[in-house]
Structure 1
Amino acid sequence: MISHAARRQADVEIRRLTVDDLDVFRDIRAEALRTHPQTFSSPEEDEGGEAMMAAYRRWLGGMVLGAFGRGSLIGVGGFYVSSDKRLQHRGHIYTVYVREDGRGQGIGDRLIKELIAHAEACVEQVHLAVLVEATAAIRTYQRNGFEIYGTDPAAVRMGETRYDKHFMVRKFSH
Structure 2
Amino acid sequence: MTSDAMPAQSDMKIRRLTLDDLDCLREIRAEAIQMYPQTFGSPEEDEGGDAMVAAYRHWLGDTVLGAFECGGLIGVAGFYVSRYKKSKHRGHIFSVYVRESDRGKGVGDRLIKDILARAEARVEQVHLAVGSTATAAIRTYERNGFEIYGTDPGVIRVGDATYDHYLMVRKFGP
- Identify whether the pair has TM-score above 0.5, normalized to the shorter chain: yes
CA offset at residue 160 of structure 1? 1.2
Query: TM (normalized to structure 2)?
Result: 0.94
Aligned residues between the structures: 169
CA offset at residue 26 of structure 1? 0.6
Structure 2 distance, partners of 1:87, 1:37, is 30
RMSD, aligned α-carbons: 1.1
CA deviations 1:23-48 (Å, max 9, x no partner) are: 11110011111111110111111111
CA offset at residue 83 of structure 1? 1.2
Who is 1:114 aligned against?
114
Asked if 1:83 is matched to 2:83, the reply is: yes
What code does the residue aligned with 1:102 have? D
Q: Structure 1, unaligned stretches of length 5 or more?
A: none
Who is 1:40 aligned against?
40
CA offset at residue 158 of structure 1? 1.1
Q: Which has the higher contact order (CA 8 A, sep 6+)?
A: 2
What code does the residue aligned with 1:109 have? D
| Over 2 Å off, 4+ runs | none
Query: TM (normalized to structure 1)?
Result: 0.94
Spell out the pairing of 1:106-145 with structure 2 (5 A cutoff): 106-145=106-145
CA deviations 1:120-167 (Å, max 9, x no partner) are: 110000000001100000000000000000011111111211111100
Q: Percent identity?
A: 67
Structure 2 distance, partners of 1:61, 1:78, is 10
Q: Structure 2, unaligned stretches of length 5 or more?
A: 1-5
CA offset at residue 112 of structure 1? 0.3
Who is 2:64 aligned against?
64
